[in-house]
Structure 1
Amino acid sequence: MGHLHEISPQLTMQALPIEAVPAVEVGPGCLRRDLPAGPGLRMWVVDMAPGAQWPVLDHHETGESYYVISGEVIEGDVRHGDGTYVYFAPDSRHRPHTESGVRLIGVNLGYAAFLAAGGSSESITHCYHPTQG
């Protein structure tokens, strides 16, 4: 599963093909691959098959960002194609779907990292659910 390269005694790097990361089916046609990331940071790749919809209304207590690598994702009535960066503020909700299929890479902060970065605990009203991402 990729290679671990020694850069210095204090720093290492991991490089791996996305397909080598185990996929978790979070709903029909929706796969998530959780990527290695630093403390307090969550990164993932999501693949949605043509016609798929995220299985739940996704709540992001600390916010979320994603970049559309290929295909198209639809948020409400707005379509986001290849090369689009999408940001959701803390305590936002969405339920994406796609007609053509999509691959995107997402990122958000864990609770402690969010607070350490200056986020407000008043905006956190929901616990993490495993289908989020």
Structure 2
Amino acid sequence: MRIENEAPVDTAPVMPVSVDAMAPAEIGPGVWVRELPGTGAIRPWVVDIAPGAEWPELDVHAGYGEAYFVVEGEVIEGERRYGPGTYVFFEPGSSHRPRSERGARVFGFNFDAPETDA
């Protein structure tokens, strides 16, 4: 039964994935990334950081931003600690080097910098 003024069903392609079924790529000792389906402007991923591990080098976001959500564990950025449920946003031009003492899983994405009128 169709309800009056009901929005039509979206028939665009859908691509569900099981994150844990995807093969991770180790980008440094104790740091694994799983690249997820996305668009050209948004590159989603899941990163797992083992206890005591640190991002292998300074992560610089020269022309794009990044954001992540801590799913489990704790991420340390400098002297700040972010636990489960925390959303962390980095503007274009920022840099950071995450680490974890207890281990962590984060879901995040990188995105293109917005165009500016020159």
1:130 is aligned to none
CA RMSD of aligned residues (A): 1.7
| Structure 2: 5+ residue stretches without partners | 1-9
Using the alignment, how far apart are the partners of 2:17 and 2:117 within structure 1?
35
CA–CA separation in structure 2 for the residues paired with 1:56 and 1:20 = 27
The structural deviation recorded for 1:39 is: 2.5
Taking structure 1 as reference, are residues 120 and 79 closer, same or farther at Cα in structure 2, changes over 3 Å only? Answer: farther
Alignment partner, residue 55 of structure 1: 56
Find the aligned partners of 1:119 and 1:59 in 2 and give their Cα distance: 20
TM-score by length of 2: 0.85
Which residue of structure 1 lines up, in the alignment, with residue 3 of structure 2? Answer: none
Runs of 4+ in 1 over 4 A off after TM superposition: none
* Structure 1 spans left out of the alignment, 5+ residues: 1-6, 122-133
Q: CA deviation at 1:120?
A: 7.8
The one of 90, 95, 109 aligned to 1:93: 95
Task: Give the number of the structure whose alpha-carbon radius of gyration is greater.
Answer: 2
Q: Per residue, is there more helix in 1 or in 2? A: 1
* Equivalent residue runs for 1:29-40 within 5 Å: 29-40=30-41
- C-alpha change, 1:120 and 1:64, in structure 2 (3 Å) is farther
Deviations 1:22-61 (A, max 9, x none): 2110000000000001222111000000000000000012
Aligned length, in residue pairs: 108
62, 76, 80: which one pairs with 1:78? Answer: 80
Cα deviation, residue 88, structure 1: 0.8
Query: How does the TM-score come out when normalised to structure 1?
Result: 0.76
- DSSP-derived class of the 2:74 partner: strand
Percent identical among aligned pairs is 45
Write out aligned runs for 1:1-133 (5 A): 8=11, 11-61=12-62, 62-110=64-112, 114=113, 117-119=114-116
